[in-house]
Amino acid sequence: MNWDDTNDTAASERLVESVADREDQAVEAALRPKDLGEFIGQEKVREQLDLVLRAARARGATADHVLLSGAPGLGKTTLSMIIAAEMEAPIRITSGPAIQHAGDLAAILSSLQEGEVLFLDEIHRMSRPAEEMLYMAMEDFRVDVIVGKGPGATAIPLELPPFTLVGATTRAGLLPPPLRDRFGFTAHMEFYEPGELERVVHRSAALLDVEIDAAGAAEIAGRSRGTPRIANRLLRRVRDYAQVKADGRITQDVAAAALAVYEVDARGLDRLDRAVLEALLKLFGGGPVGLSTLAVAVGEERETVEEVAEPFLVREGLLARTPRGRVATPAAWSHLGLTPPRSQAAGNGQGDLFGA
């Protein structure tokens, strides 16, 4: 194969991936709730947000700035769109990594319409100069645009129309207090209970015109890691399996068989999760072992293990962070059907388990 053929193949693969991504995004958009009444779960957040929006509408005012924090896939983007819909306002969507200079933010803010909702995802990753400009924009609806450099530089004040900023973050602790304090309403999104996820699965199945029974929905919900986005993704893959391997109807047996094909076990662990646990147990005797060493053992980047696999494993009580490294819990040995070394069975080496 020559260089041109290689380039053509790579370009074709990127095109296929791009088309698949667009299709997935289109399906996800179709499954998003359109108002607070359709939104499942997060009862307290919905109640509080409903009061904020209804009061703003009654006053004929722009809604207060909103900060949504929580793990990925819990509905922060969906809620931002609902806020715009409830306020009958347009929405502008951007992200913290896309705003690396104050000028980037000034360009966005200066083009906002009155009452518009600006959704800023991953707000904790915005650059410091842009962050400082945002303080004044949120509080006074004004920004100072610097023209020129050095001693001759001048600040030109630019008035902004009232707008609502909806910030989303997975790491609220990284937000500086001056920025966090400027939000009129803050909410933390919690992981979903299995019963709530079953409702999500039933709703999405109806929208996708997929027949599913209660046991099938429960099977998918139980493997969705408390996250609606994952529940919807697993539902789509089980739908594919049901159409090809069964009669198109999703039952508990069909869901279990489909998820086995996609390497999602009964507890929701996927291939990467199991690889991390197996390496920790089989190669390192349950730990403690450093994160970088563990990442090398499974052939992944350190950040992937730390940000993708580890939070779920810790939350499930299968892995613990200790001052000396990562340690498997007794539940991890049990889940993989392995017997811990005698020292661990006796409790040795686990003294730091709850001290991290």
* Residue ranges at the known binding site: 31-32, 73, 76-78, 139-141, 182, 192, 229, 302, 321, 326
- 149 is an active site residue: no
Feature table: binding site for ATP: 31-32, 73, 76-78, 139-141, 182, 192, 229
- 121 is an active site residue: yes
d(CA 295, CA 303): 9
Name the token pair of 35. 């108002």
Instruction: Classify each residue of 137-163 as buried b or exposed e, where b means 16 or more C-beta atoms within 10 Å of its C-beta.
Output: bbeebebeeeeeeeeeeeeeeeebeeb
Annotated catalytic residue, options 121, 164, 225, 274:
121
Annotated catalytic residue, options 77, 164, 251, 329:
77
Annotated catalytic residue, options 164, 169, 170, 227:
170
Q: Any idea which residue has 């003294």 for tokens?
A: 351
Annotated catalytic residue, options 46, 225, 229, 274:
229
- 169 is an active site residue: no
Strands 142-147 and 154-159, bridge-based pairing: antiparallel
Query: Phi then psi for 120, rounded to 5 degrees?
Result: -115, 95
Annotated catalytic residue, options 76, 225, 233, 239:
76
Q: Any idea which residue has 């993708």 for tokens?
A: 308
- 249 is an active site residue: no
Feature table: binding site for Mg(2+): 77
d(CA 250, CA 220): 10
Q: Which of 340, 285, 291, 286 is CA-nearest to residue 311?
A: 291
Q: Which of 92, 338, 43 is CA-nearest to residue 190?
A: 43
- 339 is an active site residue: no
Give yes or no for a contact between 212 and 205, defined as CB atoms under 8 angstroms apart: yes
111-116 long-range contacts, Cβ below 8 Å, gap at least 24?
A: 112/160, 112/161, 112/163, 113/161, 113/163, 114/62, 114/161, 114/162, 114/163, 115/62, 115/87, 115/89, 115/161, 115/162, 115/163, 115/164, 116/89, 116/90, 116/91, 116/92, 116/161, 116/163, 116/164
Q: Which of 82, 94, 152 is CA-nearest to residue 122?
A: 94
Element spanning 117, H or E: strand 117-121
Give yes or no for a contact between 103 and 158, defined as CB atoms under 8 angstroms apart: no
Feature table: binding site for DNA: 302, 321, 326
Residues marked as catalytic? 76-77, 121, 170, 229
